C-alpha cells in the first residue's frame, strides 16, 4: 500500500497500516462518514483524488465485510470501465486526457476520474467492479462491470464504430459468469442464490439508441419506421425482456437510470447552436417518452416478479437542473467540455491534448460525458435519498 504525499512517498507496512487504522480510522462511525470527511476537508497538502483512492483501498484491506456481497454493472460509456479496450471499435477511452484525475489514469473510463458505479462501490465498501473482458484469472466475488461504450438496448446500436456489447450480450456474459464461474466459490446453489439476491445490480442504457441510432436518420431507418412514442415502446419492450432475464438468473435488487436530458449535452447544443445555458428541447421531448414509460415498466415488474425491487434513478431532472442552474451546484461552466474535442466541442476528446485546468468546475468532460463531480453527486443522492432513487435508496436496499 502506498499513500502519496506531494513530492515524496510513504511505504507503509501491514503492521503500521493496522496501527493507523486503530488510532485514527476505527473511531469513525463508518466508511461513508470517513469518505465524506475527506471530501469536505479541502486539504491542499494531499491530492484529494489519490488520497480518496488510497483510503478506499486501505479500508478494503482492514475492513472485512462490505455492505452487500457484490455490485454488478451493465450499460454504456457512462459506466464502461475498460471493456471496449479489448474490442475492435473506435469507441474507446484508453488514452489521455481520459482518466486525467483518476489514480490509474486512462483505464477506459469516459470521464476525467471515477464513474458513477465507482462511487457507488466506495459507498458499499467494495472494490471497483473490474471490466469483465479484462478478467483473465478467477472471477472476483465482489462484482463485475459488463458495460460497453456505444452500445445500447437494440443490437444494431453502436455498430457504426465497430464491435461493442449490446445489453443482451452483456446479460449473456453475466449468465456465463454465474453458470460457469461463480458456482465453484459456493458450497451450494442456495448460497449462490443468496449472494445474487443480496447484491446490487445497476444499469444505464438507452442513450445510444437515440444518439447513435434514432437521431441519426441518415444512418439508421428507425427514425423513418417509428414515431418517437413507438420507438420508446420498442426500447421498453426489449428492456423488459432483459430485466426479466437477469431476474431469472438471480438478480433481485436492480437500479435503472433514466436517460439524461440529451438535448442539453454539447453534442446537441453545438449541433443546433443553442444559446449557452439552454437545451435543445425537441431532443429532450423525444427522450422523455422513454423515461415516462420506464417509470411505468419498473413499477409493473416489481409487482409481477416476486421478491424483486426495481428502483428508478431520476437522473434526467437532476442533469437538467445542473445544466440550467450550474452555480447552484458549484459549477462555473455547464455548457462547454473540459477537454478539447473533435467536432468543435461536440464529440470525444482529441488524444494527448491537455484538458482545462479546473475539470471539476466543468460539468462536461467531452461532448457526451460529464466530469466525475456529476457522478459523485448522483451516486451520493442514490445511496442516501429515496427521492432520487425511488422508491428505495441504496441504503434502504441494503436493509431489505
Q: What angle do CA 389, 391, 396 make, to 5 degrees?
A: 80
Q: By the 8 A CB rule, do 381 and 392 touch?
A: no
Confirm whether 29 is a catalytic residue: no
d(CA 43, CA 343): 38
d(CA 173, CA 201): 14
The residues, ordered by sequence, that sit 6+ positions from 169 with a Cβ below 8 Å of its Cβ are 148, 151
Catalytic residue among 32, 77, 207, 346: 77
Confirm whether 366 is a catalytic residue: yes
Phi-psi domain of 240 (left: phi exceeds 0; alpha: psi -120 through 50; beta: other): alpha
Instruction: Provide the pLDDT for residue 48.
Output: 45
Q: By the 8 A CB rule, do 143 and 122 touch?
A: no
Report the predicted TM-score, pTM, of the whole model to 2 decimal places: 0.86
Q: By the 8 A CB rule, do 364 and 334 touch?
A: yes
Partners of 255 in the β-ladder:
202, 311
**What is the block-wise mean pLDDT of the chain (400 residues), using blocks of 10 residues?**
28 36 40 41 37 48 78 98 98 97 94 98 98 92 98 97 98 97 95 98 98 96 97 98 98 98 98 95 98 98 98 98 95 96 96 96 97 97 98 97
- Report residue 29 as a C-alpha cell: 462511525
Instruction: Provide the pLDDT for residue 392.
Output: 98
Instruction: Provide the pLDDT for residue 343.
Output: 95
Instruction: Provide the pLDDT for residue 158.
Output: 96
Instruction: Provide the pLDDT for residue 7.
Output: 27
Catalytic residue among 81, 166, 369, 393: 369
Catalytic residue among 366, 376, 380, 393: 366
Amino acid at each position: 500500500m502506498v499513500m502519496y504525499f506531494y513530492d515524496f512517498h510513504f511505504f507503509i507496512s501491514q503492521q503500521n497500516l493496522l496501527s493507523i487504522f486503530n488510532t485514527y480510522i476505527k473511531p469513525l462511525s463508518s466508511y461513508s462518514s470517513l469518505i465524506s470527511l475527506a471530501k469536505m476537508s479541502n486539504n491542499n497538502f494531499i491530492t484529494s483524488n489519490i488520497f480518496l483512492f488510497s483510503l478506499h483501498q486501505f479500508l478494503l484491506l482492514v475492513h472485512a465485510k462490505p455492505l452487500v456481497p457484490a455490485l454488478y454493472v451493465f450499460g454504456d460509456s457512462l459506466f464502461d470501465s475498460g471493456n471496449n479496450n479489448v474490442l475492435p471499435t473506435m469507441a474507446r477511452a484508453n488514452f489521455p486526457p481520459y482518466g486525467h484525475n483518476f489514480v490509474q489514469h486512462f483505464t477506459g473510463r469516459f470521464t476525467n476520474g471515477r464513474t458513477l458505479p465507482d462511487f457507488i462501490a466506495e459507498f458499499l465498501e467494495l472494490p471497483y467492479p473490474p471490466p469483465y473482458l479484462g478478467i483473465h484469472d478467477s472471477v472476483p466475488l465482489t462484482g463485475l462491470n459488463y458495460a460497453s461504450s456505444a452500445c445500447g438496448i437494440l443490437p444494431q446500436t453502436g455498430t457504426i464504430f465497430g464491435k461493442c456489447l449490446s445489453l443482451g450480450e452483456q446479460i449473456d456474459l453475466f449468465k456465463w459468469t454465474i453458470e460457469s464461474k461463480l458456482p465453484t466459490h459456493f458450497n451450494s446453489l442456495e448460497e449462490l442464490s443468496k449472494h445474487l439476491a443480496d447484491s446490487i445490480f445497476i444499469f444505464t442504457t438507452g442513450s445510444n439508441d437515440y444518439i447513435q441510432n434514432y437521431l441519426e436518420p441518415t444512418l439508421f431507418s428507425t427514425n423513418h419506421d417509428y414515431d418517437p412514442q413507438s420507438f420508446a415502446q420498442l426500447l421498453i419492450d426489449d428492456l423488459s425482456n432483459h430485466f426479466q432475464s437477469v431476474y431469472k438468473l438471480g438478480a433481485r435488487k436492480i437500479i435503472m437510470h433514466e436517460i439524461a436530458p440529451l438535448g442539453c449535452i454539447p453534442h446537441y447544443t453545438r449541433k443546433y447552436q443553442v444559446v449557452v445555458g439552454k437545451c435543445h428541447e425537441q431532443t429532450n421531448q423525444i427522450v422523455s417518452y422513454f423515461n415516462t414509460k420506464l417509470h411505468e415498466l419498473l413499477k409493473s415488474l416489481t409487482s409481477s416478479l416476486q421478491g424483486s425491487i426495481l428502483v428508478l434513478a431520476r437522473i434526467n431532472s437532476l442533469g437538467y437542473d445542473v445544466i440550467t442552474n450550474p452555480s447552484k451546484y458549484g459549477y462555473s461552466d455547464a455548457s462547454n467540455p473540459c477537454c478539447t474535442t473533435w467536432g468543435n466541442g461536440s464529440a470525444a476528446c482529441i488524444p494527448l491534448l491537455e484538458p482545462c485546468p479546473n475539470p471539476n468546475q466543468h460539468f462536461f468532460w467531452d461532448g457526451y460525458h460529464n466530469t466525475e463531480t456529476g457522478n459523485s453527486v448522483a451516486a451520493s443522492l442514490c445511496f442516501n435519498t429515496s427521492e432520487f432513487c425511488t422508491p428505495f435508496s441504496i441504503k434502504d436496499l441494503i436493509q431489505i
